[in-house]
Structures are given as C-alpha cells and as structure tokens.
Amino acid sequence: MLPDPNAPLRDRVLQRVVEGEAESSAALRKAAFEGAGLSPDLKPLIEKVHAHACKVTDEDVAKVQHAYGDATPRSVIADYMTAPISEQLRAMLRLLERCTLEPDRLTPDDVRVVLDTGVTREAIRDAFYVAFLFNTYDILADTLGWELPDRRYYPKAGKFLLKKGYL
C-alpha cells in the first residue's frame, strides 16, 4: 500500500484541533476525539457525531450548549462579525467568506489582514485547503445533481473520516 501523501497535513490539523489553543481544554477535546472519559451530558452528542455526524440536530447541540452555557456556535452561524470569538478567528472567517463568495476580489491584502492578527501562514493555508475541498464538493454536487447517499453510508464514512481525515 502506498503511503498517504496527505498524512502529515492531516496529522498537523488533528494535533492543532486536539492540542492547540482553544476555549475548551485540551483534555476535553482529546476525550471527545477518542470518545472516552466524557461527562454524561456530553457523551450522547459525541457518540452521535462519531456514529453519524449528518444526523446531529440543532436540538442535540442546544442540549450541550445549555449544559455548558455556550451560545458561541449559534452566534457565529448567525453573524460571525458580532459573535464572541477571537479576532483571529473573525479575520479568518472573513477571509474564507471572501474566498468563497468573491474569489475574483481576493487580494494579498486580505491575507495580510489575517496575518496581522497573529494567524500563521500555515493556519491560513490549512483553512484554504479545507474551504477549497468543501467548495469543490458543493460545486460538484450542484452541477452533477448528486443525491444524498443512503443513511447506512454515513456511519461508515464517519468512521473513515475519523481514522483518515478529510485529506
């Protein structure tokens, strides 16, 4: 079997997500990734994400948010410009929005603004990779009229993504 050429990037992204700076503790993120040692109120959501992420509902997330008092995800979705997030994340989301919705207007200055907040070139590159893949999937799905797979597909795909990553 050939080595996965994307393994180093996948491993770096995973390490940043699990061990990097964040609002939740590294221990909690590691427990969520491994699916072990979770509190009883968090465990059902994490198990559902692991088994079939496509079936996670707003109600599932709201239960955990209520327990932890965290409305940040909803406020980011509603309006990331006013959500209680770091300026680094806000700048990155603004850059990804420009890249997605107005790619012809994207300039080096857009990237410099993000760099000036302290986001690294590597983090910007990684975010562009993920955005590019999702944007490509969306364009292909719209263009080719893809149907959603049978629900039996999602648990298998979820396990694969947890093991191998997106790239």
Residues of the chain with pLDDT under 50: none
The pLDDT assigned to 113 comes to 96
Work out whether the CA dihedral 100, 101, 104, 110 comes out positive or negative: negative
CA atoms of 86 and 100, how far apart (whole Å) = 21
The pLDDT assigned to 53 comes to 67
DSSP structure class, residue 6: T
Q: CB of 90 within 8 A of CB of 72?
A: no
pLDDT tens string 118-153: 989 998 998 898 889 888 888 888 888 888 778 788
The pLDDT assigned to 114 comes to 95
Looking at this protein, which amino acid is placed at residue 99?
C
The pLDDT assigned to 91 comes to 93
The pLDDT assigned to 92 comes to 92
The pLDDT assigned to 54 comes to 67
The pLDDT assigned to 165 comes to 67
